[in-house]
Structure 1
Amino acid sequence: MNAPDLASAGRRNFLRSSALAGGGLVLGFYLNGTGNAAEQVAKPAAAPGAEFKPNAFIRIGRDGIVTLVSKQPEIGQGIKTSLPAVIAEELEVSWKDVRIVQGDLDPVYGRQSAGGSTSTPTNYEDFRRLGATAKAMLVEAAARAWKVPPGECHAADSAVHHRPSKRRLGYGQLVEAAAALPVPDAKSVQVKDPKDFKLLGKRIGGVDNHAVVTGQPLFGVDTRLPGMLYAVYEKSPVFGGKVRRANLEAIKALPGVKDAFVIDGTADLRGLLPGVAIVAESTWAAWSARKQLQVEWDEGRFADHSWAGFVAEAQRLGKQPGATTLRKDGDVNAALAGAARTVEAAYTYPFISHASIEPQNCTAWFKDGSLELWAPTQNPAAGQELVTATLGIPKDKILLHITRSGGGFGRRLSADYIVEAAAIAQRVAAPVKLTWTREDDLRHDHFRAAGFHFLRGGTDAKGRLIAWHNHFVTFANPVTRDGKTTLQPGSGGSLSGDEFPGRWVDNCLLEQSAIECGVPMGPWRAPGSNVFAWVFHSFIDELAHAAGRDPLEFRLEILGDKAIMPGTGERGTPYDVSRMRRVLLDVAEKSGWGKRKFPKGQGQGIAFHFSHRGYIAEVAEVTVARDGSLKLDRVVVSTDIGAQIVNLSGAENQVEGSIVDGLGTLMFPELNIERGRIVQGNFNEYPLIRIPDAPTRVEVHFVKTDYPVTGLGEPAFPPLAPAVCNAIFAAIGKRVRQLPLSRTDLRWS
């Protein structure tokens, strides 16, 4: 089918026809209209041959093969394996009998996005009931076939067994009978006791592993369609710039070029920016033509912006009262004046890129008013919505296929590359694949917000923290809505008044000011937390050492002994002090905190953070050579993410990946801005962590608790940087107050 055929056929009819053709049982849930998977309601199944309209997560064929739909985008976090495993566990199906397919964007699946470590916590219980409901129907079907009570039957290893007679019916033998049964109320179905789990909590290999390592086409950039053309899109090097004129006729005359045209775009820095599209018979022809493209730009009002200018402006603002007061408790100035010891420090971090290995790309085919898309996206609905809002194509005329992503880290929550491909496809009578170059990816990212923190803190004669003042200078973009323009801080660029240790300190002042800029900003792995943890726990360490206190003891004292801290934490979640104390004490025990004496040049540092529902504490051990070179010898991680580890292999991978990514982000990346544009263009100017820089040893410990299951893509990332920097201070007595680490001279004698 081509795109219009698929769109007109309808997703529900397509699922129904494919299921019946295979002689299978399709089970799913209807949505109640909210789009929230947690609020889905079971509906009755109908007799074989009738139309099914549920969201088909489960399909069982007559051959006994169980096909499970993975609705969430797979970006390397392992969700394509772990969530279907939840269904398989409750369904009592052998993992060898399971096949997993990626679901396209479809409202019947509920919310489909990969961001904020939300995929597991928002789907875990629902997916358990999906599997349990299907199992109950299969057991009922077998019991009726044998004319025995269902209570005498049980499911195991992809079959239903009758205990007294030791009879067995494989799932494939039961699909027609089960399809004729009404679907029980999901809330009435009994799920398994976790102590009986056979699959969850074990190490499960990624379902795409073989395809990935053998180079099979999985990613967006692998998309191939008959008659496909290839596109590049040149945007202004200065954010917000527009095209005045370009040598389009000369470009059209080049070998292999099919067309070249200007797209006016919009003023939205995160939407369809103005630019010049080149469409050709091959990627090589398009990229070669681009080298000869000459564009005269109207660079707009951000052309005089620079990082040096931002630094100067931040220094000026930092000496003044903040534009916004986020929290004011007690009297900070009076407390500092009466403190036994005070510390002042300024912490700085730059804009950085997501630098996912697969550059942004999207294939689009516009025909007869319908649009079909193939995109490596973390948030397919956002792509569909942006295309509709920008180009006027109705949502029901857009079919979006979710491909595997070669990394995301928050970048693919944005949809600019999708709307660019769609806009180009509207002008081309063929499917067209837009591929960004590495330079496009680095210079037109939606960057992690830079920031400046001007801190003051004080301790009393007993070494207790009595005063905390943070003036945070962040960055904001102009946003126009309904004719009114306001400044909006970038994602991760807003400080909460509840951030630790703000509401734990009697005398606390948190302020925020913003610098206007044209640099588009977007979510970056563990938004906000990824830098706030470094700032807060580095400065807490400074205060602990100034007071002559053990850094662990100092932190435990700040946390206090209340089980739940009044007020709310991240995303309105209560901050469970007892959980944080538990992981802190656990990581101290596992790492042997304070039990060894390190020679100069070696040291141990500690940090913790509450991020994306996860409670994480980390201890880092480093060696700093006399020439200033750093080696991370050991990292010990203690994590509390609730009652169940879904896939032990995936969970360990997520934590270990966070440690490596956290170290690389600490050590290397920074972007300079001159004349309103990003200076760096490729990895020779923007280095990433390599094998020799990686930690020598990472130890991961999971503290199981009775709390709901949470995600793990982000929580382990934030504590790494402060733990390492605190270890550096313990090793050589130097504080790291500027990122990246390469900006600090670590040489010692």
Structure 2
Amino acid sequence: MADGSMPSASRRDVLAGAGLVISFSVAGKGEAAPAGGKLNAYVRVGADDTVTIVAKNPEIGQGIKTMLPMLIAEELDVDWSAVRTQQADNDPVAYGRQFAGGSMATPLHWDELRRVGAAARVMLVAAAAQGWGVPAGECTTASGVVHHKASGRKATYGSLAAKAATAPVPDLKTVPLKDPKDYKIIGQPKRQVDTAAIVTGKPLFGIDVTLPGMLFATFEKAPVFGAKVASADVAAAKGVRGVKDAFVVEGGESLDGLLPGVAVVATSWWAARKGRDKLAVKWADHPTGKQSSAGFDARAVELSTKAPGKTERNDGDVAAALAGAAKTVEAAYAYPFISHANLEPQNCTAHFKDGKLEIWAPTQNPEPGRQLVAKTLGIAPEAITIHLIRCGGGFGRRLSNDYMVEAAWIARQAGAPVKLLWTREDDMRHDYYRPAGWHFLKGGVNASGEIVGWHDHFVSLGENGTFARSAGMSPNEFPARFLANYRYDSSMIPCGVPTGPLRAPGSNAIAFVVQSFIDELAHAAGADPVAFRLKLLGDKPMVGEGGAGYAAGRMAAVVKLAAEKSGWGRKLPKGGGMGIAFHYSHLGYFAEVVEVAVAASGAVKLVKVWVAADIGRHVINPLGALNQIEGSVLDGLSAALHQKITIENGAAVESNFGDYPLMRIGEAPPIETHFIKSDNSPTGLGEPALPPVLPALCNAIFAATGKRIRRLPIDTELLKTA
């Protein structure tokens, strides 16, 4: 499962009615769960031939509730039209780790869930063969029916369900899998199973949860992250019609847990909101209350002139190589904090009764949420039930569960079911932001147009030699290992702003810096940016070994494909430009070309984007794959053009879409995607398409204007020519 272990098919559920439930425990390194433990039921076959398949991971819009059941259905050999999906609750004993993040659903479940489907098929075949008195090897399956060709007999899965429930459960490691040429579901475009409900407005999301007798809550926290409540007029809040209670929550100091604040509970959310307006909260001073984006910028520049805090990697002799270079380039790059800006603000519903807690949470990472709630409330994790509710966007924000522990705490005090709903302003000003960062670079090329030295002094957020969450950069980050002389130093700035993963963590900023600077060096060398990159990748198919290996050949192939499909090198109208970039992240190899037209006013029109991708030998759901790639590209473009969180006096300034705009439909360019089917295991798609588009856009702007973008978001005022 999530730890890579292979579950054994060692348990099965009891027949319920006339349906067959196929269950496989993943407890204890693939061994059976102890007697009485809850089992991992993935497949249920009804007497009416419908097949219900459980989707184990949280659905955050990435299509996992469709894709994972497709793997099972393919090997079960049923028609997709007969399949119904069901969202699992959080159950680590039955399902192992359940999470949405890192684009890991495909690599972790490609083999395992296909084997789950194959094992169910084996049991159904065994039931038919036993009933007919024939060898199971003489039977075949198709579209939910077992056939015995020699005798002409056939039986539907539904008719075999009761018998199959008594069949021996096969070992998942030994069940036969289909030849890929026989796939009927994998590789075929399938709409998300929830699409019809979404477009017709049916309740699916956390914000839609309702329970009998449910109350509504708001929770006000300090603008400065973690500041305590000095005073609050809870009596005034309680005087608002509909308000049932208002109280101070002392909270703790960890930015990942329950922070201090004031809760208001009412019969409607609007009443709770109006009660909150009466609180007149005064906040205690906090040590980070004087921090600011301007201060971080100034400190980064100061640190860049000093000896680094640490040398993370030092290959060759960079100083000598740069001293002997034909040309050198120095550049300072920076990127800001940005917010996840989920369209659905954070929310959670909780009910505490008789010492037990039930939670309905749109979370990407439920089990850490359970542990956080248990620790904070002082109850056993086993006393907590978490229902996984579809998220209205995640992008990494819902890997943190602060809203879950807030709802749990408030519900326990309220003594009734409570839905906590954040305002948009709460959501944007109390995020775990993509961290800001600063890179001070120097590179050199020789007379042959090759990079001979690269030095990056990376100033990031962190303390005592430890990067803040999602603020680091790997010592192996490209072009490390591809250059004989490469040095990466780091210095850190202490920061009271909470940070965390945002779609393609780290890569979403690092690619902008690295691929933009490569472009600078290409132009310094007088080289074509595509040819320069291919020369840098070289002729070695793989650089490094094992999990740390970088498949240079796969990357070169997508670079060539992106250039070919975009018509790289063609003449463009005045103000037009094309830029290319590539990046490897989340096991995916991506190259992207952006074409822009820049007006004299500085306005940037996105003409088109071409994407070339290598995610292995199979694209499980082509429709879902395109959705993920196009969404990632638009996310990246939106961040590059618009998004910035500014810190002043220790707090976030931006609070809503008026001062933190997202890309609108009219700005969105057409996106053309091409896949290379390489002989590698399939990988995920939620994130790796995002990083290359930012530098490709900035490189295109340079090609159009001659002006280099080194700071995000793009300031179009700098692009004006009239």
SS for the counterpart of 1:502 is coil
Shift of 1:53: 5.5
Q: Residue 92 of structure 1 corresponds to which residue in structure 2?
A: 77
**Could you tell me how far apart the structure 2 residues matched to 1:488 and 1:263 are?**
31
| The one of 479, 482, 487 aligned to 1:501 | 479
Which of 219, 236, 247 in structure 2 is aligned with 1:233? 219
CA distance in 1: counterparts of 2:523 and 2:147, whole angstroms = 65
Determine the structure 2 residue equivalent to 1:310.
Answer: 296
Letter in 2 for 1:525: R
Secondary structure of the corresponding residue to residue 254 of structure 2? coil
Matched, 1:420 2:406: yes
2:521 to 543, 564, 569: 543
Aligned-pair distance for 1:435? 0.3
Match of 2:21? 26
Distance in 1 (alpha carbons) for counterparts of 2:515 and 2:401: 34
Gaps of 5+ in 1: 1-14, 35-39, 45-49, 479-485
What is the rounded CA distance, in whole Å, between the counterparts of 2:385 and 2:185 in structure 1?
Answer: 34
Q: Indicate conservation of the 8 Å contact 2:407/2:418, yes or no.
A: yes
Provide the residue aligned with 2:579 in structure 1. Answer: 605
One-letter code aligned to 1:521 = T
Matched, 1:78 2:63: yes
Distance 2:583 2:108 in 1: 22
3-state SS in 2 of match to 1:423:
helix
In the alignment, the residues of structure 2 paired with residue 529 and residue 392 of structure 1 have an alpha-carbon distance, to the nearest angstrom, of: 38
Alignment-derived partner of residue 67 in structure 1: 52
Q: How does 1:242-257 map to 2 (within 5 A)?
A: 242-257=228-243
Deviation at 1:20, TM superposition (A): 4.1
Residue 327 of structure 1 aligns with an amino acid whose one-letter code is R
CA contact (8 A) 1:373 1:400 kept: yes
Q: Deviations over 1:597-648 (max 9, x none)?
A: 1233111111100000000111111111111111111111111111111101
Q: Report if the CA contact (8 A) 2:636-2:693 is conserved.
A: yes
Partner of 2:563: 588
Task: Give 2:6's aligned residue.
Answer: none
Q: In 2 relative to 1, CA 458–744 (structure 1 residues): closer, same or farther, beyond 3 Å?
A: farther
- Please say if residues 218 and 404 of structure 1, whose CA atoms lie closer than 8 Å, have aligned partners that are also in contact: yes
- Counterpart secondary structure, 1:188: coil
SS in 2 for 1:426: helix
Which residues in structure 2 correspond to 1:367-378 (within 5 Å)? 367-378=353-364
User: In the TM superposition, what whole-angstrom CA distance separates every residue of 1:516-550 from its partner, at most 9, and x where no partner exists?
Assistant: 11100011000000010010000000000011011
1:29–1:41: 8 Å Cα contact kept in structure 2? no
* Alignment partners' CA distance in 2, 1:220 and 1:443: 20
Match 1:135 to one of 121, 126, 136: 121
Q: Which residue of the partner structure matches residue 3 of structure 2?
A: none
Superposed CA RMSD in Å reads 1.6
Distance 1:132 1:42, change over 3 A: farther
Contact 1:42/1:186 (<8 A) preserved: no
Shift in alpha-carbon separation, 1:165–1:53, aligned structure 2, 3 A: farther
Question: Is the 2:411–2:418 contact (alpha carbons within 8 Å) kept by the matching residues of 1?
Answer: yes
Cα deviation for residue 321 of structure 1 reads 2.0
Aligned to 1:482: none
Deviation at 1:487? 6.6
Q: Say which of 650, 654, 658 aligns to 2:624.
A: 650
Q: Which of 278, 282, 287 pairs up with 2:268?
A: 282
SS in structure 1 of the partner of residue 301 of structure 2: helix
CA contact (8 A) 1:27 1:54 kept: no
Q: Which letter does structure 2 place at the counterpart of 1:565?
A: V
Instruction: Provide Cα deviations, 1:300-319, integer angstroms capped at 9, x if missing partner.
Output: 10111111111111110111
Deviation at 1:504, TM superposition (A): 1.3
Number of aligned residues: 710
Q: 1:468 maps to what in 2?
A: 454
Answering whether residue 428 of structure 2 is matched by residue 453 of structure 1, we say no
**Post-superposition offset of 1:41:** 4.9
Q: Following the alignment from structure 1 to structure 2, what is the Cα–Cα distance between the partners of residues 730 and 330? A: 33
Residue in 2 that maps onto 1:393 = 379
The 1:645/1:41 distance shift into structure 2, 3 A limit, reads: farther
Q: CA deviation at 1:124?
A: 1.2
Amino acid at match of 1:350: P
Per the TM alignment, residue 250 of structure 1 is displaced from its structure 2 partner at its CA by: 1.8
Encode CA deviations 1:91-131: one digit per residue, 9 max, x unaligned.
Answer: 01111111101000002111100000001110111000000
**Which residue of 509, 521, 524 corresponds with 2:502?**
524
**Does structure 1 conserve the Cα–Cα contact (< 8 Å) formed by 2:229 and 2:281?**
yes
1:111-150 matched pairs, under 5 angstroms: 111-150=97-136
C-alpha separation in 1, matches of 2:90 and 2:113: 18
CA distance in 2, matches of 1:329, 1:425: 56
Q: Which amino acid aligns with 2:618?
A: Q
Matches of 2:293 and 2:324, distance apart in 1: 38
For residues 189-242 of structure 1, give each alpha carbon's deviation from its aligned partner in whole angstroms, at most 9, with x where no partner exists: 100011110011011011000000011110001000000000000101111200
Partner of 2:721: 748
Q: Which runs of 5+ in 2 are unaligned?
A: 1-11
1:560-575 equivalences in 2 (<5 Å): 560-566=538-544, 572-575=547-550
Rounded Cα–Cα distance in structure 2 between residues aligned with 1:706 and 1:151? 30
CA deviation vs aligned residue, 1:325-374 (integer Å, no higher than 9, x gap): 11111222221111110101111111010000000000000011100000
Aligned to 1:203: 189
SS of 1:68 mapped into structure 2: strand
1:380 to 366, 376, 389: 366
Aligned twin of 1:680: 654
Q: Is the 8 A contact 1:240 1:302 kept in 2?
A: no
